[in-house]
Amino acid sequence: MTTSLPTDLPTVAITGAHVHPVSAEPFEGTVVLENGRIAALGPDATVPDGAEVIEARGRWVLPGFVDAHVHLGVHEEGEGWAGQDTNEMTGPVMAAVRALDAINPADKGFDDALTGGVTSVNVNPGSGNPIGGLAVALHTHGRVVDEMVLRSPSGLKAALGENPKRVYGEKNQTPATRLGVALTIRTALATARDWAAKDPAERPVDLTSEALARVLSREIPWRQHSHRADDIATALRIAEEFGLDLVLDHGTESYLIADRVAERGVPVLYGPLIVSRSKVEVRERTPRAPGILHRAGVKVSIITDHPVVPIDFLVHQASLAMKEGLPHDEAIRAITLNPAEVLGLADRIGSLEVGKLADVVLWEGDPLDTRNRAEHVWIGGREVLRYDAEQGRAVIAER
């Protein structure tokens, strides 16, 4: 399931801009959006006849930001119990449930995403279960979720540590300990491995094993919620045992064993950063971590875990990481190309390159300066946000 592009999009030329492509050196020049994609960019790019021209006058143009770990649309804000569809906690192994089936595009967080320059997200089930379900990557503007999808499924969410042991320990059932959580995961993976080894004609219908088999074949990544260093070590161990394509979600203490994470080539989606030390597992969270991980050779992305941190604060978390040692361009990369690569979408989003989707944001200046706002946002070449200075607010396009 992928996003289809409208055919009636205007051609737009953003001229006189400070362009930060992410995958190449910044330059002063023009970016052309045509038929939903980036048609041209460079210091000498030609403005097509009839194009709508936006004179940037030195303002910054970047790719839309990418938040690779959110609960946008499944954990709705201001909706109480009616809007909480993050966890299906009626059983510890829920590999077959899909975040896609619970996303409400009318969630207010989608508008917040646009004001923060976030054009793509990865929506995960929650971390109440050892195996929580299938994630989906999508754009942040659309009428129905099917029109927004970039990749489905984009990974399988699993959780180690405090959350699943608390949920099922309170029910007095397995798993009630870290031992039990790891056992539950291993048992499910082993069962799926046996199921996948059978002749397809002889396999019983088993949606759980079918979902897990996609991880075992490395069709999709294993998205491992883990905070403490010991849980991260367990995640590395299980991934090696079953040959999984591992991604560490949160990875709060990953910087304490950054050498081991780097050695395995495992990316870290670090965050959220702007939170209190609300539980033991985030006691060691620090905005220094992305810089430490980067220097160790780990591909690091920054996440909000929205609504834990509001999604429009994604860029501010990158600013904090920069303040604490992550180089400027790497801070930008941590919310653009790195998460796009982790999601398997770097051929379409995450940087400004000819042929990629026209997910583009015009900022007042450097977005890592908190004084600057997003003035124009395009998704697939369609303008979905424009800041109205007279009204003093962002105007969102009709969905």
Ordered DSSP codes for 86-112: S--TTSSB-TT-BGGGG--TT-THHHH
Q: Which domain holds residue 130?
A: 65-342
Whether residue 267 is found in the same domain as residue 365:
no
Q: Is residue 5 part of a domain?
A: no
Q: Is residue 394 scored above 80 in pLDDT?
A: yes
| Residue 382 near residue 96 (C-beta atoms within 8 A) | no
Whether residue 288 is found in the same domain as residue 175:
yes
CB atoms within 10 A of CB 26: 15
Q: Is residue 135 scored above 50 in pLDDT?
A: yes
pLDDT in the model for residue 79: 75
Mean pLDDT of 97-102: 98
Mean pLDDT of 52-58: 98
Q: What is the pLDDT of residues 199-233, one digit of tens each?
A: 999 999 999 999 999 999 999 999 999 999 999 99
Confidence of residue 7 (pLDDT cuts 50, 70, 90): low
Q: Is residue 2 part of a domain?
A: no
Whether residue 111 is found in the same domain as residue 209:
yes
Q: Is residue 349 part of a domain?
A: no
Whether residue 287 is found in the same domain as residue 240:
yes
Token duo for residue 2: 């992928």
pLDDT in the model for residue 8: 78
Whether residue 240 is found in the same domain as residue 336:
yes
Q: Is residue 373 scored above 70 in pLDDT?
A: yes
Whether residue 47 is found in the same domain as residue 164:
no
Q: Is residue 197 scored above 50 in pLDDT?
A: yes
Confidence of residue 80 (pLDDT cuts 50, 70, 90): confident
Q: Find where tokens 């194009």 sit.
A: 51
DSSP letters, 61-77, are EEEPEEEEEE-TTTB-T
Can you give the pTM of this predicted structure? 0.96
Q: Is residue 5 scored above 70 in pLDDT?
A: no
Q: Is residue 67 scored above 80 in pLDDT?
A: yes
Whether residue 300 is found in the same domain as residue 361:
no
How far does CA 4 lie from the centroid of its chain?
Answer: 20
Whether residue 318 is found in the same domain as residue 359:
no
Query: What burial class does residue 358 get, using C-beta atoms within 10 Å of its C-beta: 0-12 exposed, 13-18 middle, 19+ buried?
Result: buried
Mean pLDDT of 340-346: 98
Q: Is residue 348 part of a domain?
A: no
Q: Is residue 54 part of a domain?
A: yes
Mean pLDDT of 163-184: 97
Q: Is residue 278 part of a domain?
A: yes
Residue 365 sits in a domain whose CATH number is: 2.30.40.10
| Residue 229 near residue 259 (C-beta atoms within 8 A) | no
Whether residue 147 is found in the same domain as residue 201:
yes
Measured distance CA(272)–CA(160) in Å, rounded: 17
Q: Is residue 186 part of a domain?
A: yes
pLDDT in the model for residue 81: 76
Residue 189 sits in a domain whose CATH number is: 3.20.20.140
Mean pLDDT of 5-28: 91
Whether residue 229 is found in the same domain as residue 370:
no
Domain count, the chain: 2
Whether residue 326 is found in the same domain as residue 193:
yes
Q: Is residue 3 part of a domain?
A: no
pLDDT in the model for residue 6: 54
Whether residue 31 is found in the same domain as residue 171:
no
Measured distance CA(148)–CA(1) in Å, rounded: 9
Q: Is residue 4 scored above 70 in pLDDT?
A: no
